């Protein structure tokens, strides 16, 4: 079933059919109506390949996800898909390993799929600095805002990681905690670095010093967090509170704490980051910094579409996270001899 068949059946030419398909104004309403009817009855769908071969571009957006095990991204992807559909685009997800190069991957995708735009979920600032200049399609870096990145076709949407982390740690300090462990990614990860700086800010503001020995390196998955916390415990690190750079990390860490006989929050208070659905249903309910994922998704798509359709310039949008007061943080009850 091709456009030719429809032309034959409806008694007009292929160009007319094409015009109807593309909703061009220069077709007589009755003709259009008739053609539409024939198409419907024949169950005809235009061949995407032929169309794209001709016009040299698709109606799709690609979502490049770095870190498939990160539950926050799973939650987020669903929202992105929905928003894309809303704007008449179809989203294609490309999962990348946590340590893959997202720019290389994007270049490959660009050649193969020719999407109209790309949304990166997470990514490494240095990879962008090194290679993004070669990418010319409208793009959005979601859940990450960095002033070290400045490309005319790269919008950024996310929360201010540093400020958010500051809020998180300040909350712990307000509860009387002064020995605060932090679990998160390496300095090469921009959000991790910012969140760490934010934690540091909060401590310094309170006259405390950030103790490197209380920093545990973890990927954004359960298992890694579990091990990171175990290492911290094995080192006999002393702390009454934990700032985890994601809910998933917090969750894995809590498991390790409980296994070691620590109660949460009685012995160790824990604050997470992200506000994934699970954080509201776990025991104890997670005290966490909630990223407005729905807004981030919507904004990302909106900016992208505006860049694509109206050539709008790239923008940076910083959204406000919110503190979710759960049950995993309580006032500090313990004092250590040594300061």
Partner DNA sequence: CTGTTAGCGCTTTCAC
Partner DNA sequence: GTGAAAGCGCTAACAG
Burial, 212: exposed, middle or buried (Cβ in 10 Å; 0-12, 13-18, 19+)? exposed
Asked if 55 is part of the footprint of DNA (rule: CB under 7 A), the reply reads yes
Of 36, 42, 50, 78, the residue at the interface with DNA (CB under 7 A) is: 50
Contacts to a copy of itself by CB under 8 A: 45, 47-50, 52-53, 68-69, 71, 74, 78, 81, 92-93, 95, 108, 111-114, 221-223, 226, 251-252, 254-255, 258, 277-278, 280-283, 285
Task: State the nearest-atom distance from the C-beta of 46 to a copy of itself, in Å.
Answer: 9
- Name the binder of 27 from DNA, a copy of itself, none, CB < 5-8 A by kind: DNA
The minimum distance between CB 26 and DNA, in angstroms, equals 4
Contact 329, 175 (CB under 8 A): yes
- Does residue number 57 form part of the binding site for DNA (CB under 7 A)? no
Locus of tokens 């300061």:
339
| Residue 37 contacts DNA per CB under 7 A | no
**Minimum CB–partner distance for residue 118 and a copy of itself (Å):** 16
- Applying CB under 7 A, among 9, 16, 141, 216 the residue interacting with DNA is 16
Work out how close the CB of 70 gets to a copy of itself at its nearest, in angstroms, rounded to a whole number. 10
Between CA 182 and CA 169 the distance in angstroms is 9
Which one, of 194, 288, 291, 189, lies nearest residue 247 by Cα? Answer: 288
Interacting partner of 62 out of a copy of itself, DNA, none (Cβ under 5 to 8 A depending on kind): none
The answer to whether 214 and 235 are in contact (CB under 8 A) is no
> If contact means CB under 5 to 8 A according to the sort of partner, which of DNA, a copy of itself, none does residue 213 touch?
none
Q: Is 183 helix (H, G, I), strand (E, B) or coil?
A: strand
Q: Are 129 and 148 in contact (CB under 8 A)?
A: yes
d(CA 240, CA 219): 22
Closest approach of Cβ 303 to DNA, in Å? 25
Assess 334 for contact with DNA (CB under 7 A). Answer: no
- Residue spans of beta strands (DSSP E) within the chain: 60-66, 90-96, 117-121, 139-142, 154-159, 180-184, 215-217, 241-244, 269-274, 287-290, 316-319, 322-324
- Of residues 4 and 108, the one with the C-beta less far from DNA: 4
Alpha-carbon distance 163 to 320, whole Å? 10
31 contacts DNA (rule: CB under 7 A): yes
In whole angstroms, the minimum distance from the beta carbon of 56 to DNA comes to: 6
How is residue 27 written in tokens? 């077709």
**CA 108, CA 68: separation in Å to the nearest integer?**
19
Using rule CB under 7 A, residue 54 touches DNA? yes
The correct pick among 8, 9, 46, 312 for binding DNA (CB under 7 A) is: 46
Find the binder of DNA among 9, 14, 110, 135 (CB under 7 A).
14
Q: Applying CB under 7 A, which of residues 53, 234, 283, 339 lies at the interface with DNA?
A: 53
What is the spatial distance between Cα 216 and Cα 232, in angstroms, rounded to a whole number? 7
- Tell me whether residue 203 or residue 225 sits nearer to a copy of itself (CB atom): 225
Residues 294, 295, 300, 306, CA torsion sign: positive
Question: Which CB, 14 or 285, lies closer to DNA?
Answer: 14
Pair of tokens at residue 223:
């298992």
**Interface contacts to DNA, rule CB under 7 A:** 2-4, 11-19, 21-22, 26-29, 31-32, 46-47, 50-51, 53-56
């Amino acid at each position: 079933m091709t456009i030719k068949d429809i032309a034959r059946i409806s008694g007009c030419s292929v160009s007319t059919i094409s015009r109807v398909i593309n909703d061009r104004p220069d077709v007589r309403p009755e003709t259009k109506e008739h053609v539409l009817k024939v198409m419907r009855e024949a169950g005809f769908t235009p061949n995407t390949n032929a169309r794209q071969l001709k016009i040299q571009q698709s109606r799709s957006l690609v979502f490049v996800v770095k870190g498939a095990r990160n539950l926050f991204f799973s939650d987020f992807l669903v929202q992105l898909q929905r928003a894309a559909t809303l704007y008449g685009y179809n989203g294609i997800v490309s999962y990348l390993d946590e340590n893959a190069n997202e720019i290389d991957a994007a270049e490959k995708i660009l050649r193969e799929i020719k999407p109209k735009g790309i949304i990166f979920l997470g990514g490494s600032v240095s990879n962008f600095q090194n290679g993004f200049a070669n990418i010319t399609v409208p793009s959005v870096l979601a859940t990450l805002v960095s002033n070290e990145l400045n490309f005319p076709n790269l919008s950024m949407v996310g929360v201010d990681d540093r400020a958010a982390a500051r809020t998180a740690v300040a909350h712990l300090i307000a509860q009387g905690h002064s020995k605060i462990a932090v679990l998160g990614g390496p300095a090469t990860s921009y959000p991790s670095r910012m969140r760490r700086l934010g934690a540091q800010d909060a401590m310094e503001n309170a006259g405390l010093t950030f103790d490197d020995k209380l920093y545990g390196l973890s990927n954004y998955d359960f298992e890694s967090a579990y091990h990171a916390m175990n290492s911290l415990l094995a080192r006999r690190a002393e702390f009454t509170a934990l700032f985890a750079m994601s809910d998933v990390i917090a969750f894995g860490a809590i498991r390790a704490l409980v296994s070691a006989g620590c109660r949460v929050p009685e012995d160790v208070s824990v604050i997470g980051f992200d506000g994934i659905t699970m954080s509201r249903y776990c025991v104890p309910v997670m005290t966490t910094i909630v990223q407005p994922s729905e807004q981030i998704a919507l904004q990302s798509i909106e900016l992208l579409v505006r860049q694509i359709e109206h050539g709008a310039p790239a923008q940076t949008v910083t959204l406000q996270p919110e503190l979710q007061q759960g049950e995993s943080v309580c006032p500090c009850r313990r004092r250590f001899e040594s300061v």
